[in-house]
Structure 1
Amino acid sequence: MELAPGLRRIGNDVIATHLVVTGDGITLIDAGLAGQWRDLQRELDAIGRATSDIRGVVLTHGDSDHIGFAERLRRDHGVRVFIHSADAARARGEEKTKPAIGRVKAAPLLRFLAYSLRKGGLRTRWLTEVQEIAGGQVLDLPGSPEIIDLPGHSPGSVAIHVPAVSAVFVGDGLTTGHVLTGHQGPQPAPFTDDPAAAAASLAHLEDLQVDWVVPGHGAPWHGGVPALLAAYRAAMEVPGSDQT
């Protein structure tokens, strides 16, 4: 699915992965679930590209629903996988956390679980080799992605700024569609290690001039960073909110 020239999406508002497509190749942002491999192949066929055009995978963090087919790309196709050093062990399956789930509603939860199971959420292969990165780096990949520290959801969570497509990919730094409650709009993401740190980290995005803010869960935001952050902060102030 095309969001804008050079910016494409596979998956849906439950779990999505994104492609930055340039004349020099493709940068993949996150790797979703293992079963989304077929979705990736269909998307590549639709735009006349091949797996060999993928130059790298940049992970926003190391949780299982973001690394799904990354090891397959690395192992079978030699694609480098980049992740912040603070989340490298998580992506290799060496470290796990169990953050509080918070409030849930039955229908959104069942939709999330059903989609995850259908797309191979239980077949995740942990990475065996990663390229460690840090905030402030600009990677030598199509679109020249810039890494922005966004700790909180996990220690090594990052945002990925790609000026070539006027977008910033925020992973689970926030969500626009809560997979456990169904609440829509910018808000804290569930399964977050340190919610206070995650909220504070969003200040790192304030000066970005982009058309798209793209989370890993929920609809892409096409209203600019200032409006998104204002909506996020307003959501956090709602008394009795069920968004966290």
Structure 2
Amino acid sequence: MTRGVYRLGDDAVSFYALVEEGEVTLVDAGLPIHYRQLTELLGGIGRSVQDVRAVLLTHAHLDHVGLAERLRQEAGAIVWAHARDVPALANPRRTPPEAKPEANLGAYLLRHPTALRAPLHMARSGALRTPGITTASSFSGGETLDVPGRPHVVAVPGHTPGSVVFHLPSQGVVFTGDALVTHDGLIGRTGPQLIGPVFSHDTTQARVSLENLVALDADLILPGHGEPFRGPITDAVQQARLTSF
């Protein structure tokens, strides 16, 4: 992929390990079922969960925070999220009113029952057992975090009120979480795109926030859902702007 960056997860959700000088930062934290995969990856490069120093959350949805509290307890890792998403971490299984998605998932599934595959996968992978995160540090966007990899935080509200991406300028890498993905698990669409209103708080704002990505020096996009995208980030943003729901 690129030096010191490892992709984890499965066909439905991705998260990433960033390794620098033997210390580890996780970008997002997958689902509870992914713990063994994480330990095997770290063991294969001579590291362990005790080397995880930080867990950086692109946003506070269940499929991105699954291992965060466990790593906080077992490794003493500091969990970081945008200040506007931190309140949701205490009970990630219940979306707070101020962050509710625009559209109702249940109503959507009644019209498109085949889309049930994505939430069923999450349930089977332990999403509904995800513990609340009892202590988290916050950022507001614009910071370069003093954690392994020193990622720069860019605020991209819309998918959730506190959605962010993490940029590694020296490597031309951006972790986009769900602000820009390359696979829609409900309808199977691939390529750079936005996530629809059944999972997003404000899709209009999410579309506007794509502008915050244009100036980033990056040619490798690592999303929360779908395959990595290689190429100028401007190309990915241009395609995502065309997303229709």
* TM-score exceeds 0.5: yes
* Equivalent position of 1:39 in the other structure: 37
1:64–1:91 Cα contact (<8 Å) kept? no
Q: How does 1:61-210 map to 2 (within 5 A)?
A: 61-93=59-91, 95-96=95-96, 97-100=100-103, 101=105, 105-107=112-114, 109-190=115-196, 191-210=199-218
Q: What's the secondary structure of 1:181's corresponding residue?
A: coil
State how far apart, in whole Å, the 2-side matches of 1:24 and 1:135 are: 27
Q: 1:106 to 1:221 in 2, by over 3 A?
A: farther
Q: For residues 6 and 24 of structure 1, what CA distance do their matches in structure 2 show?
A: 10
- Give the SS at the match of 1:4: coil
Query: Quick one: which amino acid aligns to residue 193 of structure 1?
Result: H
Mark the runs of 5 or more structure 1 residues left unpaired by the alignment. none
Deviation for aligned residue 1:43: 1.1
Q: Distance in 2 between matches of 1:99 and 1:31?
A: 25
- In the TM superposition, residue 224 of structure 1 has moved relative to its aligned partner by 1.9
**How many percent of aligned residue pairs carry the same amino acid?**
37
Query: In 2, are the aligned partners of 1:138 and 1:147 still within 8 Å (CA)?
Result: yes
| Distance in 2 (alpha carbons) for counterparts of 1:47 and 1:140 | 23
* Residue 95 to residue 120, structure 1, CA distance change in 2 (3 Å): closer
For the 8 Å contact 1:87–1:154, the answer to whether it is kept is yes
Cα displacement string for residues 136-188 of structure 1 (whole angstroms, at most 9, x for unaligned residues): 11110111111101000111100111234421111111221001000111111
Q: CA contact under 8 A between 1:173 and 1:189: conserved in structure 2?
A: yes
After superposition, residues 217-228 of structure 1 pair within 5 angstroms as: 217-228=225-236
Distance 1:206 1:122 in 2: 35
Aligned with residue 220 of structure 2, among 193, 212, 215:
212
Residue identity in the other structure for 1:216: G
Please state how far the C-alpha of 1:95 moved relative to its aligned partner. Answer: 4.8
Shift of the alpha carbon at 1:215? Answer: 1.2
TM-superposed deviation, 1:110: 4.1
Q: Which runs of 5+ in 2 are unaligned?
A: none
Q: Which amino acid aligns with 2:59?
A: H
Structure 1 residues 183 and 222: CA distance shift in structure 2, 3 A: same
Query: Could you report, residue by residue, the CA deviation over 1:172-226 in whole angstroms, capped at 9, with x for unpaired residues?
Result: 1122100100011111113110001001001111111112111111111111201
Instruction: Judge which range, 111-120 or 175-184, deviates more.
Output: 111-120
Cα distance, 1:124–1:213 mapped onto 2, change above 3 Å: same
Q: In the alignment, what sits opposite 1:16?
A: 14
Q: What TM-score do the two structures reach when normalised by structure 1?
A: 0.90
Residue 235 of structure 2 aligns with an amino acid whose one-letter code is A
Aligned residue identity for 1:99: E
